[in-house]
Amino acid sequence: MNDDKEIDLETAIREVETIIKELERKDLPLDEAMFLFEKGLELINLCEEKLKQARLKVEAIIKRGEKFEFVGLETARQMFKDEDKNLR
């Protein structure tokens, strides 16, 4: 599903909803159900990653809110890694 990385969040969610409706069919062959289940899981993982990236961006802005400075994802990741280490 390499091409799914280019799918936006809303499209991926709609595809998951469609897959769920298909999986609810009682006459769905097992092979097709397994294929749809795996595709659905991949899309859900993609959605989670996109939401995580968005959260990191927002939290990075909030974290440095007094300066209203935007930091990139790598900087945000490092900030949260450092913060997590300090909490231990």
For 62, residues 6+ apart whose C-beta sits below 8 A from its C-beta are: none
One-character DSSP codes across 32-79? HHHHHHHHHHHHHHHHHHHHHHHHHHHHHHHHTTTTT----HHHHHHH
Contact 16, 36 (CB under 8 A): no
Predicted TM-score (pTM) of the model is: 0.63
All structural domains of the chain: 2-87 (1.10.287)
Cα torsion angle, 51, 56, 59, 61, sign: negative
Residue 55: the pLDDT is 80
Per-residue confidence in pLDDT tens, the chain, 88 aa: 445 558 999 999 999 999 999 999 999 999 999 999 999 999 999 999 999 888 877 766 655 556 666 666 677 777 777 776 766 6
